Every structure is written in structure tokens, then in C-alpha cells.
Amino acid sequence: GIQVEQSPPDLILQEGANSTLRCNFSDSVNNLQWFHQNPWGQLINLFYIPSGTKQNGRLSATTVATERYSLLYISSSQTTDSGVYFCAAVHSGAGSYQLTFGKGTKLSVIP
Amino acid sequence: DVKVTQSSRYLVKRTGEKVFLECVQDMDHENMFWYRQDPGLGLRLIYFSYDVKMKEKGDIPEGYSVSREKKERFSLILESASTNQTSMYLCASSFIGQTTEQYFGPGTRLTVT
């Protein structure tokens, strides 16, 4: 199956700083999503981005499918951005609908 | 707004009990999924369903079964709960196909004692 690797595993930021989270995947994908897991455990959809670039407020994401990576940018970070960010992908060759998740990046934004 | 709801946020059961976790979505999605999340192991797929009464095993189906009698509802059943099934259970749904966005419910934190 496909492997999804995220980096860094942990990130501590001062409030107001910018950050880039990276997701590498081992094969071609039909679906790539970024999620934020809140303190209560719910996965919040940030982006559906199998290719290209999208922006939503202070967050943006870019996926370069040919080079098998995706980046999530967080600008002017706030304490409410803290939590775990997951990248997940569906392998295009598998005929499966299953999302394979990375291990996540744990972000801590300190005031 | 897509809404996926799960029957309980927290659940405590005893070893050997039969446990039902229910998931309901209101977006007329064909696909529904059950994942479990464990520290160090990440999120793993237990079962998914692409239509009423249809199901496919995921990576870790052992000890679980599922039921989908109506399009909007997908149930996960632990026939005889064991302590190693203590976990966070997350339900998701999406439209048919590989290229569709999955939406998750709030999760059920199950403890088996």
C-alpha cells in the first residue's frame, strides 16, 4: 500500500510566526486531504487537494502530485491553531477508497 | 454543511459485552467508513461500505462486524468486547469514488474494562 510520511513530528511556535508542514507520499494518489484534530478528537477538514494550490484565510496548501508531496502553510499562527495536523491520501492504483494517514505533526503555539 | 454524527462521545463497557457504535450522515453519501485511532499506530481502517448492505474489510477487521441497512446509517459491532479494543473510533462518509472528500464524525472514545 501507499506510505504517507509527515514532517516535522513536533513543532513549537511563538504566536504570530509562520510554519510549513510537509507530507510525502510514496505513490500516485487520487485524493489528498489535510485535517486538524481538535483537543476533543474530531478531525476537521482543512483542504481537499490532490493537486494544485488552495487558500483559506491564514491557511494554504500546495500539492505537487508529480513529485509526491504536499505542503500546508500556516501564517500568523494563533494559539487556537494548536493540535495535531494530519495528511491522508487515497492510492490511485489500489481501487480502494481507503484514506491512509500520516502519523501527524503536533503543533503547539505559545503566546 | 456536511454532518456526520456518532451515537456516543464516551462509552465504557465490560469485557465480553456486545457493543454497538452508530454513525449517521445527512449528505446522502454512498461511502461510509469506520476507523480506529491509537497512540503510536495512527488511524487505521476497520471496515467500509459503498452501498446499503455492501461492506469491505479494511486493514484491521478482526473482532468487528458492521451493518448498513439504510444509506444514512453505518453501525460498528464489537461482538465480544476485549480490552485491546479500547480506542478512539471515528466514522467518516463521502460520495462514491476514490476522488471524493471524506468527512469525519466527532469520534467515540471507547474504554473496555
CA proximity to B40, closest of B88, B78, B83: B88
Total of domains in chain B: 1
pLDDT profile of chain B (113 residues), mean per 10: 90 98 96 95 93 93 97 97 98 88 96 98
Beta bridge partners of A23: A6, A70
- Give the pLDDT score at A92: 80
Contact A83/B at CB under 8 A: no
Provide the CATH number for the domain around residue A87.
Answer: 2.60.40.10
Q: Please, which contacts does B14-19 make with residues 24 or more away whose CB atoms are closer than 8 Å? A: B14/B81, B14/B112, B14/B113, B15/B81, B15/B82, B15/B83, B15/B112, B15/B113, B16/B80, B16/B81, B17/B78, B17/B80, B17/B81, B17/B112, B18/B77, B18/B78, B18/B79, B18/B80, B18/B81, B19/B77, B19/B78, B19/B81, B19/B110, B19/B112
Looking at residue A9, its pLDDT comes to: 96
Res B99: pLDDT: 80
Q: What is the pLDDT, as a whole number, of residue B60?
A: 96
Q: Which of B3, B99, B109, B111 to mutate to test the interface with A (most CBs of A within 10 A)?
A: B99
Tell me what pLDDT residue A94 has: 62
pLDDT in tens, chain A (111 residues): 889 999 999 999 999 999 999 999 999 988 999 999 988 899 999 999 999 999 999 999 999 999 999 999 999 999 999 999 999 999 887 667 889 999 999 999 999
Omega of the bond prior to B39 within 30 degrees of 0, cis? no
Nearest Cα residue in chain B from A4: B42
Q: B31, B102, B110: best mutation site toward chain A, by most A Cβ within 10 Å?
A: B102
CA distance to partner chain A, nearest, from residue B17 (Å): 25
User: Domain with B26 in it: what CATH number?
Assistant: 2.60.40.10
Annotate A48-75 with b (16+ C-beta within 10 A) or e (fewer).
bbbeeeeeeeebbbbbebeebbbbbebe
Asked if residue B8 belongs to a domain, the reply is: yes
**Residue B20, pLDDT score:** 97
Q: What's the pLDDT score for residue B96?
A: 87
Q: Is residue B108 domain-resident? A: no
**pLDDT for position A96:** 72
Q: Are A97 and B104 within 8 A, CB to CB?
A: no
pLDDT at A12: 97
Average pLDDT of chain A to the nearest whole number: 94
Range of the domain at B11: 4-96
Domain count, chain A: 1
